Amino acid sequence: MVQAPAPFEPMTCSRTFRMAGPALNCIASGVVSRMQAEAPDAALAWQPYSKETMDQIIKGEVDIAFGNANFPLPEGLKAKVLKPMKRYVLARRGHPATNDWSLDSWMRWPHAVVRIPAAIHGTVEEHLAHLGLKRRIGFHAANWSGIASALNDTNMLGNFVALVLLEGRAGDDLQVLEPPEPMPDLVFRVIWNAELDADPALVWMRGIVLTTFEDLVDEAQKLVSNRDIVVPRTFG
């Protein structure tokens, strides 16, 4: 009981790690790519982040998860809060709204939205309601997979973080617009069972997930920095 756990050797690991999170292909592929480079016999079982995820971690049915950090963490869990991510407005190149970008045009065109389970506070919907603004939803998506293509193929607008720009070729083509009104940042956290905080395999896995996030967020922000961002028209 007092013996220190054996060192973790990724090259000899054949474990299947169970991870839950919103469907962001760039995150999933980034995590499994790093895993395979260090532990070629290990595997990743990905499942959607849901309202049951917290309980699944406590029961040992999920090893690690990432999701919105806008609600209290249940007892028995630990988490690492990630760097806040700024929300932008994304649209296809040549979208009519870019010719007269303003608060009015932001609300005039339909929006594509992704519902994040358990996201109650700090959402775009809550923020717009606080401002007395009402938008029209053109697409209720279950996850981020395919959202870039949906924006490219329509005149919908999307209020998303820069990670969406990494979602394949469709993300490469999207135009970035500065929101006419500042939106709340999106804050994710990586979550695990507190009782397994020192488990060598899970410590390694957390490192993979955290490094992947940090690198992808930096990569996405560089994409934004290299693009011409459409700024709202000022009146007067």
Q: Is residue 235 part of a domain?
A: no
* Residue listed under structure tokens 């000022």: 234
Distance CA 131, CA 107 (A): 12
Clarify whether residues 92 and 46 are in a common domain: no
Clarify whether residues 78 and 140 are in a common domain: no
Clarify whether residues 52 and 22 are in a common domain: yes
Q: What is the mean pLDDT of residues 46-65?
A: 94
Q: What is the mean pLDDT of residues 83-95?
A: 95
* Predicted model pTM: 0.87
Q: Is residue 133 part of a domain?
A: yes
**Residue 18: per-residue pLDDT:** 97
Q: Is residue 152 part of a domain?
A: yes
Q: Is residue 233 part of a domain?
A: no
Clarify whether residues 199 and 152 are in a common domain: no
The per-residue pLDDT of the chain, averaged, comes to 90
Q: What is the mean pLDDT of residues 92-118?
A: 90
Who contacts 22 (Cβ-Cβ below 8 Å, separation ≥6)? 48, 49, 66, 67, 114, 116, 143, 144
Clarify whether residues 192 and 179 are in a common domain: no
Strands 188-193, 77-81: pairing is antiparallel
Clarify whether residues 59 and 70 are in a common domain: yes
Clarify whether residues 112 and 151 are in a common domain: yes
Dump pLDDT digits (tens) for 153-188.
Answer: 999 999 999 999 998 777 888 999 999 998 999 999
Clarify whether residues 176 and 98 are in a common domain: yes
Clarify whether residues 22 and 74 are in a common domain: yes
How many domains, in total, are found in the chain?
A: 2
**Nearest CA-CA partner of 28 in 41, 47, 14:** 47
Residue 118 has pLDDT above 70, yes or no: no
Band the pLDDT of 235: cuts 50, 70, 90: low
Clarify whether residues 178 and 114 are in a common domain: yes
Distance CA 194, CA 188 (A): 18
**Residue 70: per-residue pLDDT:** 83
Q: Is residue 234 part of a domain?
A: no
Clarify whether residues 194 and 105 are in a common domain: no
Band the pLDDT of 236: cuts 50, 70, 90: very low
* Residue listed under structure tokens 């959607």: 48
Q: Is residue 31 part of a domain?
A: yes
Across the chain, where does the E strand assignment appear? 16-21, 43-48, 64-68, 77-81, 87-92, 111-114, 137-141, 157-161, 174-177, 188-193
CATH number at residue 210: 3.40.190.10
Clarify whether residues 97 and 179 are in a common domain: yes
**Range scoring the smallest mean pLDDT among 59-63, 81-85, 114-118, 150-154:** 114-118
Query: What range defines the domain where residue 134 resides?
Result: 87-185
Band the pLDDT of 125: cuts 50, 70, 90: confident
**Nearest CA-CA partner of 47 in 73, 68, 67, 72:** 67
- Of 45 and 51, the one with more pLDDT: 45
Who contacts 52 (Cβ-Cβ below 8 Å, separation ≥6)? none
Residue 50 has pLDDT above 80, yes or no: yes
